Homo-oligomer: A and B are copies of this chain.
């Protein structure tokens, strides 16, 4: 039995011991950087026991580490403290409780709060704020103004209703700059939110809005948190803020990538390797394609050559063949659409799959 135990100690990673030499394991999410920008994985909508969540703030930092996130905002409800009978209502303390751990694990940790009104107008997050105390106010316009004056960035959470005069006022004053296209694991209004985001020229965001603890121990193509990809000049809170202000984002939601064509086109281009020919036999050319990202890529042919559909699983190399005319050179690129990259509601990204230069006999 003792032998068995000593082996166990080697085999298991002891995930829940608050042991002195505790290890914390992280699996990176792979998305390519863009020219001039690093691609940060961010979640700007997260709750703790300080409002109606169920975990201590440190838990959110460890979850972020192991799921491969770079940056999170703790955004408890400013007006609604479910556990007030037992837990402090000083909202500025939330981020402080987790700040040491965030520094140790190198997670960018943003102070935020959720301004929680009836729908309409609904809920709004203010992030990058300095002092949450004055933001506890029944007047949303005042809240949003104060948050913005503190240097904050305000966005509309999980829009359940219509764009109203209140939204218009907030927007016109620069007190509303972003929209959660996706929130949590499902989003029945995704198409609607996406349309509003594009029409009003808002920053597109996707966040988890998580309340209970996370059971996921790593992100995979099939099972990942709804998150915002931020194309930032560097890995810092300041750079994240600058990028949000400039709308340099995309959303990763249930294996779909959602965003403006301006960013999705270069992101896709770096997401798969050029197609590499392995063998030409008669009227067939065999090719391989490597998906360099953590998300499966689904393709549908729009030209005349290539398989009607292709699925390139995440972090894998896929082999397939295309028909070629004997004695003629093979095409140099294949037109497709990426059916899980959306540049508008129901609008997949058009792409060209390039075939690498030298071709086999």
Contacts and interface: CB of A to CB of B under 8 A. Distances in A.
Interface of A: 1-10, 12-18, 21-28, 49-50, 52-56, 58-59, 62, 65, 83, 85-88, 90, 93, 97, 100, 103-106, 184-188, 190-191, 208, 210-217, 254, 256, 278-279, 281, 286, 288, 298, 307-311, 313, 315-321, 339, 342, 345-346
Given A86-B97, A184-B16, A298 B10 contact: yes
Given A24-B320, A214-B215, 6 more contacts: A15-B215, A17-B186, A86-B88, A86-B97, A106-B288, A215-B217
A15 B307 CA distance: 15
B105 A278 contact: yes
B9 A7 contact: no
Report copies per complex: 4
A25 B313 contact: yes
B320 A23 contact: yes
A254 B7 CA distance: 12
A211 B90 CA distance: 24
Given A103-B278, A106-B279, A187 B5 contact: yes
A65 B187 contact: no
B215 A215 contact: yes
B59 A55 contact: yes
A50 B49 CA distance: 11
Nearest to A286: B104
A57 B213 CA distance: 12
A321 B187 contact: no
Nearest to A211: B18
Contacts of A6: 3
Most chain-B CB neighbours within 10 Å: which of A23, A208, A216?
A23
A12 B315 contact: no
